[in-house]
């Protein structure tokens, strides 16, 4: 099969080349941005004196009709027309006649697609920022509602020190806050307009680049036409932010998987965010968290694809850049799905407060507090560490927890240890409240942290339910 073409290469194009050449199946995702950019370009051509007022109005109105057809699902995409740009221009010309052929004056598909991509990426950044904020709000709400729930903090996946659930949820929130900043920074840097850069060296028509850029919501036109058409570092930067976000969501997902197991029992997902086994009737699987973990791998792959795609390109547009869309489309889709799914899952999950409390009472989590108690009695910390380590070993040999050791055993290990040490230093709740420094798990510190985070995110406090 061959398809006829005209112009510089009048011979038929081979079917394999046609399939390789066409990208409309992927880049038609850009149709909204392509139409918006074309309408702005038409008005720019009017200002430049290339078009008359009636011609510009006809083009803008025709493009609006094309948009309505696409929105309604009536538009016929033709692979033989290669891409989203040529499909829209061909239909526009059918609607408005020969004036449709004037739209591409002073413009190349090189600056056209670069503009579309920046507009599309900016829009998707904003959607992702909204989704990030929604997940952060759920975490803040849950941190506030679970403020009294104590649990162990972990290192090396081993119980380490007394903490509280709210403090742990706020750690998740801190990751999302930095993700927000990275995405905002990337969005700010990409917000420049390539339109008017032409194929590589601009155009001789007096296009009002600054005005067109302002109409499209850009900060201004890009300063160099070669850079404008051939650089995709804005996609790399956004993909990097999305990959890091994916890793963070995967870490949260990993804890959801662990916590929802019978071995932990810290969390129960609602049925709406779980699945059952096709074979084992008793199973309730945390698939939402596992799927989020999987999406992070694709986000990392998207970043890698974009980095490798551009690394060997000389300056000036290369057709390799046709492959820049699928990775960034996939990265955004995965990020938005993951954010929205985790938001719903964590909003509806039940936390196992009793299981967390029971875990806190196992694993000698107050050992550091007992060492600190000795420090207040004048014992150097290294010596105190050694003394308490010996007591932990003694407790394990007796099959006891550190706090269950008889007072005479404590006193035998060091004269400064007695009933007071057993009563205060080895109480998990007291240990949590001692950690009242900013960033610590004490109730007052976490309460202040939640309030400060709400202010940063621009979120109001959750309403307090009225007592019945």
122 HSE (CA, 13 A, CB side): 18
* All residues at 6 or more sequence positions from 172 whose CB lies less than 8 Å from its CB, including other chains: 139, 252
d(CA 416, CA 468): 50
The set of catalytic residues is 156, 277
Q: How far apart are CA 375 and CA 365, in angstroms?
A: 18
What the block records as the tokens of 431 is 């240990």
Beta bridge partner(s), residue 351: 267
Is the Cβ–Cβ distance between 87 and 78 less than 8 Å? Answer: yes
Residue 357 DSSP symbol: H
Q: Are 67 and 59 in contact (CB under 8 A)?
A: no
What is the spatial distance between Cα 170 and Cα 146, in angstroms, rounded to a whole number? Answer: 11
Crossing angle for the helix pair 165-190 and 233-259, to the nearest 10 degrees? 170
Q: How far apart are CA 315 and CA 200, in angstroms?
A: 9
Residues 6+ apart with CB under 8 A from 113: 27, 30, 83, 85
263 CB contacts (<8 Å, ≥6 apart)? none
3-class DSSP state of 437: coil
Could you give the C-alpha distances from 440 to 162, 357, 366, 400, 444, in angstroms and in order?
Answer: 11, 18, 16, 28, 9
**Quick one: tokens of 433?**
């409240």
């Amino acid at each position: 099969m061959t398809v006829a073409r005209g112009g510089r290469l009048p011979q038929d194009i081979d079917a394999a080349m046609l399939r390789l050449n066409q990208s409309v199946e992927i880049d038609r995702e850009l149709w909204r941005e392509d139409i918006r950019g074309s309408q702005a370009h038409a008005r720019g051509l009017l200002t430049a004196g290339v078009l008359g007022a009636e011609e510009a109005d006809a083009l803008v109105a025709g493009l609006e009709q094309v948009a309505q057809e696409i929105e309604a699902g009536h538009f016929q995409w033709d692979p033989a027309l290669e891409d989203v740009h040529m499909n829209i221009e061909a239909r526009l010309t059918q609607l408005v006649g020969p004036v449709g052929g004037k739209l591409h004056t002073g413009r190349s598909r090189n600056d056209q697609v670069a503009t579309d991509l920046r507009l599309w990426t900016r829009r998707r950044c904003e959607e992702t920022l909204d989704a990030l904020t929604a997940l952060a709000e759920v975490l803040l709400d849950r941190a506030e509602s679970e403020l009294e729930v104590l649990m162990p903090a972990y290192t090396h996946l081993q119980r380490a020190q007394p903490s509280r659930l709210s403090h742990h949820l706020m750690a998740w929130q801190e990751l999302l806050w930095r993700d927000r900043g990275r995405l905002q920074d990337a969005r700010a840097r990409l917000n420049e307009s390539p339109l008017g850069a032409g194929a590589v060296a601009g155009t001789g028509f007096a296009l009002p680049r600054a005005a067109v850029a302002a109409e499209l919501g850009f900060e201004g036109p890009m300063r160099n036409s070669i850079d404008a058409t051939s650089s995709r570092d804005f996609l790399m930067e956004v993909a990097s932010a999305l990959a890091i976000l994916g890793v963070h969501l995967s870490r949260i997902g990993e804890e959801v998987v662990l916590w929802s197991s019978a071995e932990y029992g810290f969390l129960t997902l609602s049925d709406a965010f779980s699945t059952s086994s096709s074979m084992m009737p008793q199973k309730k699987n945390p698939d939402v968290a596992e799927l989020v973990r999987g999406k992070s791998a694709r986000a990392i792959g998207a970043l890698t694809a974009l980095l490798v795609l551009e690394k060997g390109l000389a300056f000036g547009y290369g057709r390799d850049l046709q492959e820049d869309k699928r990775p960034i489309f996939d990265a955004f889709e995965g990020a938005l799905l993951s954010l929205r799914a985790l938001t719903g899952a964590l909003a509806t999950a039940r936390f196992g407060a009793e299981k967390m409390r029971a875990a806190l009472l196992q694993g000698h989590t107050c050992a550091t507090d007992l060492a600190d108690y000795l420090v207040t009695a004048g014992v150097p910390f290294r010596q105190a560490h050694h003394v308490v380590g010996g007591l932990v070993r003694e407790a394990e040999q007796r099959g006891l927890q550190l706090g269950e050791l008889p007072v005479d055993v404590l006193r035998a290990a060091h004269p400064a240890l007695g009933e007071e040490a057993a009563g205060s230093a080895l109480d998990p709740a007291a240990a949590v409240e001692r950690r009242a420094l900013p960033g610590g798990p004490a109730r007052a510190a976490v309460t202040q942290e939640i309030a400060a985070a709400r202010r940063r995110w621009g979120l109001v406090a959750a309403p307090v339910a009225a007592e019945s």
